[in-house]
Amino acid sequence: MSFFAKLKEGLAKTRQTFVDKVRETVRFRKKIDEELFEELEETLIRADVGAEASLKLVEGLRQQVREKRVEDPGQIPELLKEQIRNLVASAAMTNAIASAPEGPTVIMVVGVNGVGKTTSIGKLAAQYKGEGKKVLVAAGDTFRAAAIDQLEVWARRAEVDIIKGQEGSDPAALAFDAVQAARSRRMDVVIIDTAGRLHTKSNLMEELKKIKRVVSRDLPEAPHEVLLVLDASTGQNAIQQAKIFGEAAGVTGIVLTKLDGSSKGGVVVGITSEMKIPVKLVGVGEKIDDLRPFNPNEYVDALFG
């Protein structure tokens, strides 16, 4: 199945809770009035688009309707589709993953437990490997031994090198070692996994900052990317997490996983509208090739079916 077909299938439930609802909202209307706009706004909010983005979209619709003298409510879904396309596209201008001009590109991957960090690292490592790059992954989620094992399985699958420590060891020290190793082995990419929670009360954000600091000690530009992984199926929670991690961890890009099967895929619109951080990658499954660069047009076309 092509990636687009997978994305389209993955967004089927979102289509029901979002696009189909919009279509229902306008179906038996004879005219476009304030009541219709208000109902549309509510529909969008319920579809996890988020209050801010919903307001922006409906405001845009009002303007279009006025300017183009639209009278047929049946035209609303198509107008909305283009509004969403513009909103999402404007935020995704810079969605390429950064790459260091020389020396290893260091990518740090952060996010709460279970969102898909380790899986996404495995998929990303496989992609770089496929491009002929030398990749090192670092098992910086030292919270559980199982997390280290899981990254090891992915490293084997992607056929890339791994650096790991003992369960409970210091992730910043491991990250430092990883960058050192990558430099001496002339590797192209280092991807650092991190924990989503901690044993001690020491703040997760403080730990992430420490990893960042340590990594930049030898390579001042590193990490070149801090990717925040968000689980699309958590809807508004994902937006909350983006706000918390965004500033504290210096996030440069978002990886949105589990777009497959979620009914909350509208959250992409909310995230792009409320965050200044671009969505760079999307995940639509558990397999190694189920991660792709985020393409706004593809997303909107898949969403509207």
Calculate the dihedral angle through the C-alpha atoms of 169, 172, 178, 180, rounding to the nearest 10 degrees. -120
Instruction: Quote the tokens at residue 7.
Output: 């994305």
The minimum distance between CB 194 and Mg ion, in angstroms, equals 8
Number of residues that bind ligand GDP (CB under 6 A): 19
- Cα 15 to Cα 6, 10, 18, 62, 191: the distances in Å are 14, 10, 5, 23, 34
- Residue number with CB closer to ligand GDP (15 or 117): 117
Q: Which residues 15-54 are close enough to bind ligand GDP by CB under 6 A?
A: none
The minimum distance between CB 94 and ligand GDP, in angstroms, equals 22
Q: Is 194 in the site for Mg ion (CB under 5 A)?
A: no
Q: Is 258 in the site for ligand GDP (CB under 6 A)?
A: yes
- Residue number with CB closer to ligand GDP (16 or 113): 113
Rg (Cα) of the chain, in Å, rounded?
Answer: 21
Scanning 28-36, 63-71, 109-117, 125-133 for contacts with ligand GDP by CB under 6 A, the matching segment is 109-117
- Residue number with CB closer to ligand GDP (115 or 182): 115
Scanning 70-78, 178-186, 241-249, 255-263 for contacts with ligand GDP by CB under 6 A, the matching segment is 255-263
Q: Residues 113, 202, 240, 297: which binds ligand GDP (CB under 6 A)?
A: 113
The minimum distance between CB 82 and ligand GDP, in angstroms, equals 27
Cα 13–19–25 angle (5° rounding)? 125
Contact 116, 231 (CB under 8 A): yes
Q: Is 286 in the site for ligand GDP (CB under 6 A)?
A: yes
Contact 271, 22 (CB under 8 A): no
What 3-state DSSP class applies to 98?
Answer: coil
d(CA 239, CA 267): 8
The minimum distance between CB 157 and ligand GDP, in angstroms, equals 12
Contact 141, 193 (CB under 8 A): yes
Q: Is 270 in the site for ligand GDP (CB under 6 A)?
A: no
Q: Is 265 in the site for ligand GDP (CB under 6 A)?
A: no
